[in-house]
Amino acid sequence: MTIQTATLGYPRIGKNREVKKALEAFWSSKFDAAALLRTVQEVELASWKTQLEAGIDRIGIGDTTLYDHVLDWSIWLGIIPERFQSLTGFERYFAMARGKDGIPALEMTKWFDTNYHYLVPEITQPLQPANFGDFLETVHRAQTVLGERAVPIVLGPLTLLRLSQLELNLEQTVSYLLDRYLVLLKELKTLGVVEVQIHEPALVLGDADKFEELYQSTYHSFSQVSLPIHLVTYFDDLGTAYPWVMELPVAGISLDFTRGRNLELLRQHGFPSDKQLGVGIIDARNIWKIRPESVLSTLETIQSVTSNIRLHPSSSLQFVPYDATRETKLPEPLRNVLSFAEQKLDEVLILTQTLAGGDPSEKLAVVQSQWKAFEQFSPVNPAVQERLRNLTVNDLERALPYEQRKALQPTLPTFPTTTIGSFPQTSEVRQLRVKLKRGEITQAEYEAAIDAEIAKCIQIQEDAGLDVLVHGEFERTDMVEFFGQQLSGFAFTEQGWVQSYGSRCVRPPIIYGDVARTQPMTIREFKVAQSLTNKIVKGMLTGPVTMINWSFTRTDIPRSEQAMQVALALRDEVADLEAAGAKMIQIDEPALREGLPLKPERWNEYLSWAVDAFRLAAGVAKPETQIHTHMCYSEFGDIIEHIERLDADVLSIENSRSNNETLFEITDAGYKHQVGNGVYDVHSPAIPSTEQMVQQLKTGIANLPVEQIWVNPDCGLKTRRWEEVIPSLKNMVEAARILREEVNATQE
């Protein structure tokens, strides 16, 4: 039996971020709509050709987007909230994505456990008419290039619903949507596509069993169209849903064999002989080449269960960059074991040829020797390993419990005011780094310019009347990159961009060996800032879990161990900050919550090491030193005991967009430590009024003892402008002052 190859989606920002640039040009009116569309279609065409030339049989198409593919499906299906209904075309599209003239955008949130963000469909009233014209046009275009290989990717109805804000009755909405999907499937059939991929990653979420009947009825009606459906799942295993998913009336089912226990489930329950198994064997979420031995042994197991298989990456390749061979500045032994999208296509082919009894064994042997060379090269740090082996529970423990520490820590006025760390990164500041890199300024000149920014920032905070100051983070491009660049074991790409959302791209660092601190990382800037003021300056660090979650990690040792290595480096930094006079140190963990595994039964395992890593970094601090942490977009209700176990003295949270829900979760649980309840939304250019913030704080006071309350913005101010930040902070300090007086008056 010949083994087919397939893809489930491809990077879409362009090898040189053409789509990002075109979008920004369009938004600033330098590009018209036609030029934008042309760019997007050129990028799309290039990706089709790459996949065609690689020899992929079933190329997933239709996932290219102007901003977000989930938004595209909302619009095609007619899921358009009332506030956008008077708009049309691009204007409506980008209003839904980014807001317009006071009309708020759709909410944005993380796509499963990836770092990609999608726009949440809002299903709140009868739907608008569906219109699949653009999608069908793309399919038609793809067919002219790819012929039968073009396989439309359709976002599954039940995944779409599962990820929506649904204010209508579920069954009713399914029936509305179903008709639309049926129309679409019929149109696709008329176009002559040989099959369609329907992506239902919601099947791995662990609550899929609740929707079993809906899946059955939905896929039963889809089967009436008699267009072969390949049902695609990824990001985890099917869990208890496995047996009934196998019975759905579809032609094929794809499973992710790079995460979760699908292999075990397959062995245990078998695979239906009337279906084709899509084997997601190449990890589409990490950047390493395959390890031939282990992949071949997995495939052997799979083939002992069913021989009707196709091979493909585990999910869309949108989570990895385009081409590792362009990273010419990386050391060769590292570059040789990297696999970005293009290399992953080759890997699919090599494996398929191997299974077909061909002789690409030569190619596999090359990969094997590349891994050998890499093992010689990758930094092994016996001292770090030794330190980790010798850790005891005491190392994770502050010297005294919170109540006793609190008495020793700095005394501040009621409602102490502070910020989350960063201040506006103007283009002049970013320009400094470009000049330094190009050799146009010396290191000393660069530092002097940064110090001038710090001085200005300290002065502004003094003028605003803040109680606890920060240095402003001007020397940091990015909170992970800045630390990674000073740690051994981290590598940085030049072209390794992946889409975070819309036009926003990130270049995650690669952890490729043992991590160790090579030098103090933040002490110089801290000292400069502290020398300029009598107020307390908080030291600012990025926590170990965030460092790990926002990087591509190694696959040879567990993530927990990598987090602990980073934590050790940060632990030394905490000690150095203290020695340099820091009385407060903030260890940011914005990514702690988002790293939660998709299946709740695995949460404890993750949280246990994640919290330990934080504690290892912070545990070295003297009782007198106040440890802060900061988290964004967090829902804590279900993990509050782990938040408590962090044992941070002060926790600042995003709150202003969550209607105090996060605060209530914390107060309901009887959280005893101090809380900085974000009083203004840093994601909006609006300047919050004193009155607004007084109101916000009053909610805090009604729910938490006054001694527990801090006053701060939601998050860092990096993306804001000084003109917004200065008045906002003044209003915030004024709000704290008003409440301070009110509280004092009632106490007298």
Q: How far is the CB of 419 from Zn ion (least distance, A)?
A: 11
- CA-based radius of gyration for the chain: 27
Q: How far is the CB of 715 from Zn ion (least distance, A)?
A: 3
Q: Is 117 in the site for ligand GLN (CB under 6 A)?
A: no
Compute the CA torsion angle 494, 497, 500, 501 (nearest 10 deg): 120
Q: State which residue, 468 or 479, has the beta carbon closest to ligand GLN.
A: 479
> 379, 335 in Cβ contact below 8 A?
no
Q: How far is the CB of 480 from Zn ion (least distance, A)?
A: 13
Task: Report the SS3 class of residue 13.
Answer: coil
Bridge partners, residue 338, by sequence: 288
Give the range of 109-117, 130-138, 302-310, 414-422 binding ligand GLN by CB under 6 A.
Answer: 414-422
Of 208, 350, 566, 715, the one binding Zn ion by CB under 5 A: 715
Q: Is 62 in the site for ligand GLN (CB under 6 A)?
A: no
Q: How far apart are CA 208 and CA 162, in angstroms?
A: 10
Q: Which of 69, 230, 471, 683 is catalytic?
A: 683
Of 206, 649, 716, 731, the one binding ligand GLN by CB under 6 A: 716
Q: Which of 478, 477, 434, 426 is nearest to 452 (CA)?
A: 426
Q: Is 422 in the site for ligand GLN (CB under 6 A)?
A: yes
Q: How far apart are CA 557 and CA 411, in angstroms?
A: 43
Give the range of 287-295, 448-456, 574-582, 628-636 binding Zn ion by CB under 5 A.
Answer: 628-636
Element (DSSP H or E) covering residue 554 = none
Q: Is 538 in the site for ligand GLN (CB under 6 A)?
A: no
Q: Is 541 in the site for Zn ion (CB under 5 A)?
A: no
Q: State which residue, 20 or 476, has the beta carbon closest to Zn ion.
A: 476
Of 14, 239, 590, 713, the one binding Zn ion by CB under 5 A: 590
The three state secondary structure string of 404-444 is HHHHHCCCCCCCCECCCCECCCCHHHHHHHHHHHCCCCCHH
Q: Which of 256, 262, 288 is nearest to 113 (CA)?
A: 256
Element (DSSP H or E) covering residue 609 = helix 603-618
> Do you know the residue count of the chain?
748
Give the range of 280-288, 365-373, 482-490, 589-597 binding Zn ion by CB under 5 A.
Answer: 589-597
Q: Mask: binding to ligand GLN, 625-664, rule CB under 6 A, as x and -?
A: -----x-x--------------------------------
Q: Is 632 in the site for Zn ion (CB under 5 A)?
A: yes
Size of the site for ligand GLN (CB under 6 A): 13
Q: How far is the CB of 84 from Zn ion (least distance, A)?
A: 28
Q: State which residue, 166 or 505, has the beta carbon closest to ligand GLN.
A: 505
Subset of residues 123 to 182 that bind ligand GLN, contact rule: CB under 6 A: none
Q: How far is the CB of 654 from Zn ion (least distance, A)?
A: 6
Q: How far is the CB of 3 from ligand GLN (least distance, A)?
A: 44
Give the range of 189-197, 303-311, 313-321, 419-427 binding ligand GLN by CB under 6 A.
Answer: 419-427
Q: In this structure, what are the phi and psi dihedrals at residue 348, rounded to the nearest 5 degrees? A: -55, -45
> 344, 314 in Cβ contact below 8 A?
no
Task: Report the SS3 class of residue 367.
Answer: helix
> 36, 26 in Cβ contact below 8 A?
yes
What is the residue-wise DSSP string for 556-581?
SS-HHHHHHHHHHHHHHHHHHHHHTT
Q: Is 471 in the site for ligand GLN (CB under 6 A)?
A: no
Q: State which residue, 7 or 674, has the beta carbon closest to Zn ion.
A: 674
Q: Is 718 in the site for ligand GLN (CB under 6 A)?
A: yes
CA atoms within 13 A on the CB side of 236: 22
Q: How far is the CB of 382 from Zn ion (least distance, A)?
A: 36
Element (DSSP H or E) covering residue 156 = none
Q: State which residue, 95 or 547, has the beta carbon closest to ligand GLN.
A: 547
Q: Is 590 in the site for ligand GLN (CB under 6 A)?
A: yes
Q: Are strands 468-469 and 122-123 parallel, antiparallel or unpaired?
A: unpaired
Q: State which residue, 143 or 658, has the beta carbon closest to Zn ion.
A: 658
Give the range of 26-34, 303-311, 673-681, 712-720 binding Zn ion by CB under 5 A.
Answer: 712-720
> 42, 93 in Cβ contact below 8 A?
no
Q: Which does 422 bind (CB under 5 to 8 A by kind): Zn ion, ligand GLN, none?
A: ligand GLN
Give the range of 116-124, 208-216, 386-394, 711-719 binding ligand GLN by CB under 6 A.
Answer: 711-719
Q: Which does 471 bind (CB under 5 to 8 A by kind): ligand GLN, Zn ion, none?
A: none
Tokens at 77, concatenated: 């299906």
Q: State which residue, 493 or 586, has the beta carbon closest to ligand GLN.
A: 586
Q: How far apart are CA 313 and CA 325, in angstroms?
A: 19
> 680, 697 in Cβ contact below 8 A?
no
Q: Which does 656 bind (CB under 5 to 8 A by kind): Zn ion, ligand GLN, none?
A: none
Chain residue whose CB lies nearest ligand GLN: 716
Tokens at 413, concatenated: 């006025």
Q: How far is the CB of 696 from ligand GLN (least distance, A)?
A: 19
Q: Which residues, in sequence order, are CB contacts of 440 under 8 Å at separation 6+?
A: none
What is the residue-wise DSSP string for 48-112?
HHHHHHHT-SBEEES---SS-HHHHHHHHTT---GGGTT--HHHHHHHHHH-BTTBPPPPEEE-T
Q: Has 673 been annotated as catalytic?
A: no
Tokens at 41, concatenated: 């279609």
Of 396, 479, 564, 610, the one binding ligand GLN by CB under 6 A: 479
Q: Which residues, in sequence order, are CB contacts of 712 under 8 Å at separation 6+?
A: 417, 418, 419, 420, 652, 676, 678, 679, 732
Q: Which does 478 bind (CB under 5 to 8 A by kind): ligand GLN, Zn ion, none?
A: none
Give the binding site for Zn ion (CB under 5 A): 590, 632, 715
Q: Which residues are catalytic?
A: 683
Which residues are at the interface with ligand GLN (CB under 6 A)?
420-422, 473, 479, 540, 588, 590, 630, 632, 715-716, 718
